[in-house]
Amino acid sequence: MKLNPSISAIVWSLVSLYTVTAHAEVPTLFISEYLEGASNNKALELYNNTDSNLILDNYRIEIYFNGNTSAGATIKLSGTLAAGKTYVIAHSSASFADTADKTSGSLSFNGNDAVVLKNGDSILDSIGQIGSSDYWSNGSGTVSTQNMDLRRSATVTDIDPTDVFDPGAQWTDYSLDDFSDLGIYGADDGSNGDDGGDNPPSRNSAVMMPRLPLAVCKVMA
Ligand SMILES: [Ca+2]
Ligand SMILES: [Ca+2]
Ligand SMILES: [Ca+2]
């Protein structure tokens, strides 16, 4: 039997939709916490939301300072990060540096510097907007990339470092120099996010990572 073209298109769309869903459920590494504290108290917490070890050798953090469109600092990661575990990078002179997985004197953002996480040349996640020297905040200024500890509060959706950045959309503010949650990922209620609890969501369930646009293109094709 020959399917008519419209049924064939629907079947293809459903197959492609399945592909979209499958891809959307393959998260990798993302930034779960960002600490922009006093002096050199700077840190990033990364979370491996896959069911596998991640070899970090091709991963790096880039920092685009003060609206620059070229990275002014590159911090290469290394080692292996187990499934469901965190990796903390701290400034070498941070007061909590001895608790970090990696330290670097280049981790010197101060609120108006875009931070990008890459695997090779693929962008995995970002904070801020490359080319902008704004100190990013939500409308009221209660959630800001300056002088705050920010924890990822919801499903990861904004990974694009080139568009407008609203830290209030996916981040919850904690006080300056509150480094008590560095190295811990989870939410007290088990929801997606990092709010100081220790109950991570089940992995591969809800964190949307960057493959979606490609797959959407496939659906549209
Ligand atoms: Ca700066
Ligand atoms: Ca963005
Ligand atoms: Ca944390």
**pLDDT tens, residue by residue, 106-126:** 999 999 999 999 999 999 999
Q: How many A from CA of 145 to the centre of ligand 2?
A: 13
Same domain as 213, residue 176:
no
Same domain as 15, residue 90:
no
Arithmetic mean of pLDDT over the chain: 82
d(CA 190, CA 56): 27
Q: Which ligand is nearest to the CA of 67?
A: 1
d(CA 132, CA 115): 12
Same domain as 6, residue 93:
no
State the residue range of the domain holding 213.
Answer: 1-26+204-221
Q: How many A from CA of 189 to the centre of ligand 1?
A: 35
Task: Please tell me the predicted confidence (pLDDT) of residue 20.
Answer: 35
d(CA 90, CA 86): 13
Same domain as 16, residue 112:
no
Task: Please tell me the predicted confidence (pLDDT) of residue 201.
Answer: 59
pLDDT value at 180 more than 80: yes
Same domain as 102, residue 130:
yes
pLDDT-derived band of residue 156, with 50, 70 and 90 as boundaries? Answer: confident
Same domain as 12, residue 102:
no
Q: How many A from CA of 183 to the centre of ligand 3?
A: 5
Mean pLDDT of 176-181: 92
Same domain as 37, residue 21:
no
d(CA 134, CA 140): 15
Q: How many A from CA of 1 to the centre of ligand 2?
A: 48
SS3 category, 191? coil
